Each structure stands twice: as C-alpha cells, then as structure tokens.
Amino acid sequence: MITLALSKGRIFDEALPLLQAADIVVLDDPEKSRKLILDTNRPDVRVLVVRATDVPTYVQYGGADMGITGLDTLLEHGSDGLYQPLDLQIAQCRISVAVREGFDYASSVRQGSRLTVATKYMAIAREFFAAKGVHADLVKLYGSMELAPLTGLADAIVDLVSTGGTLRANHLVEVEHIMDISSRLVVNQAALKLKQAPIRRIIDAFNGAVQRRMEVKA
Ligand code: ATP
Ligand code: MG
C-alpha cells in the first residue's frame, strides 16, 4: 500500500492531473465527503486529507509514504527525514514583504530602524531579515496577515502573494520579493527503500507530467 498525503483546496486540485498521469484516480471529492482517507481506482494507493502544514509531519514520521507540500511549508517545517525528488511546479506563488501604502519601507531599512513584522513564516522571515541586516521583531500570526499593518500590530508582513489582489484590496504594497514558491513532492526515506519500485513509478510518472507541461508552456 502507498499512502499519499494531500491538503484540500489548491494543492489537491492541481495535483489531480499529476495523479492521473500516474494512473491514480481519487474516487471521492474531499470538498463533498467527510472521509479523511480517500480510496483511489488502485487498491494499492490511498490518499490522506490533512492540513497543508501537517503534510511534512505525516511524511517525516511515516504516517504517509509521500506527500505534496508548498516550499513555504517545507522550509518552515524543515526537511529532516524527507526526500525531495521533484518540484511539481503547481500552486505557484511567491513570498513577499508588504507594507501599508505610504509606509516608507526603503528609508526605514536605510536608517536601520527596527521593524515589527507579522507572519506565519517565522523561519523564512527571520532568515531573510538577518541576511539583510535588518532588525526585525517578528510577531507570529496564523492567518489574515494583511490586517496587521492596518491595525498597527506590525509595520510589515511576510506572506504569500499570487496576483497581488488581496494586498491591493487592503491598501498594502509589495516591497520585497523573498522567493518563488511552488509545491514539492516529499517522500519518507524509509518508505523509499522498502517500497522502492512502486514509489519510483509514481515519481517517474509525476516527472513526465511536469516535463510535458513545461514543453507546452515553452
Ligand atoms: P488554510 O488556508 O486552510 O489555513 P493553508 O493556507 O495552509 O491552509 P492553502 O491556502 O491551501 O493552505 O495553501 C497551501 C499551499 O498552497 C501553501 O503552502 C502555498 O504553497 C500554496 N499557496 C497558497 N496560496 C496560494 C496562492 N494564492 N497561489 C498559489 N499557491 C498558493
Ligand atoms: Mg490559505
């Protein structure tokens, strides 16, 4: 049995064509069913529906053999015990620094001011501001980061951006592009040894689908 951990929503939806390329068809719709273990057309493959931030944990401890997780989540979690064979190039976005319109970020940085930064990405933000030599006081939030600069909780946020629509709607502007984000395949290292052939077949099928999609785009 191969157990694959996925999160509902964007990653699940964008992973379906990749699964299809590996001849895996999920039989339930996680948005409609309350089941957390989903059957597939293949008796040897099942899908666990877990919280996005829990995917690396399930795979690391062997609750799942493999999983699909955002690079953002992976960097925050750390990659101990995780083999990362593929960038699946789905759920693409970026991690950026944003501030309220009218806040002079550049001059704050130039003057060496302390910045209060709200984020759920504590590790990524800490490393980014340390490398820049900016003294950042980090405030951990779990969602709706955009509110922090509007309420005076923070000067800046570090958050995911895709179209920038949410920032604009909240009168925020992007002032730094920290890194590009996409989803990665992660595999439990022990499972990779014990179930090498079936796991390799899935990795190869995903890789083929990713390559074909790149050729179509190019
Ligand atoms: P929840 O929204 O349930 O609190 P979450 O934010 O962790 O959980 P998602 O919003 O499904 O879960 O995000 C999962 C992953 O998808 C993120 O870790 C990131 O890699 C990617 N992602 C998030 N937002 C976007 C976006 N707007 N565009 C593209 N990819 C995104
Ligand atoms: Mg979300």
Number of folded domains in the chain? 2
- Which one, of 153, 152, 168, 183, lies nearest residue 96 by Cα? 168
Q: What is the pTM of this model?
A: 0.96
The helix/strand count (H/E) of the chain reads as 9, 11
Mean pLDDT of the chain: 97
**Domain co-membership, 85 together with 111:** no
Domain containing 147: what range? 93-181
Q: What is the CATH number for 151?
A: 3.40.190.10
Contact partners, residue 110, CB within 8 Å, separation at least 6: none
Q: What is the DSSP letter of 66?
A: E
pLDDT in tens, 84-103: 999 999 999 999 999 999 99
**Domain co-membership, 7 together with 87:** yes
Nearest ligand to the CA atom of 53: 1
Q: What is the dihedral of CA 111, 116, 117, 123, to 10 degrees?
A: 90
**Domain co-membership, 177 together with 197:** no
**Domain co-membership, 100 together with 177:** yes
pLDDT in tens, 110-148: 999 999 999 999 999 999 999 999 999 999 999 999 999
**Domain co-membership, 195 together with 212:** yes
Nearest ligand to the CA atom of 74: 1
**Domain co-membership, 40 together with 115:** no
How many angstroms is it from 201 CA to the middle of ligand 2? 31
- Which one, of 100, 91, 95, 96, lies nearest residue 146 by Cα? 100
State in Å, rounded, how far the first CA of the chain is from the last one.
37
**Domain co-membership, 72 together with 101:** no
pLDDT in tens, 19-63: 999 999 999 999 999 999 999 999 999 999 999 999 999 999 999
Q: Which residues line ligand 1 (CB under 6 A)?
A: 7, 9-11, 52-53, 70, 72-73, 91-93, 143, 160, 162, 181, 183
**DSSP notation for 78-133:** --TTEEEEEE---S-EEEEEEEETT--HHHHHHTT--EEEEES-HHHHHHHHHHHT
**Domain co-membership, 60 together with 127:** no
Sheet holding 93-100, edge to edge: 136-140, 115-119, 156-161, 93-100, 172-181
pLDDT score at 218 = 83
**Domain co-membership, 98 together with 142:** yes
State which ligand 1 atom lies nearest to the alpha carbon of 163: 27
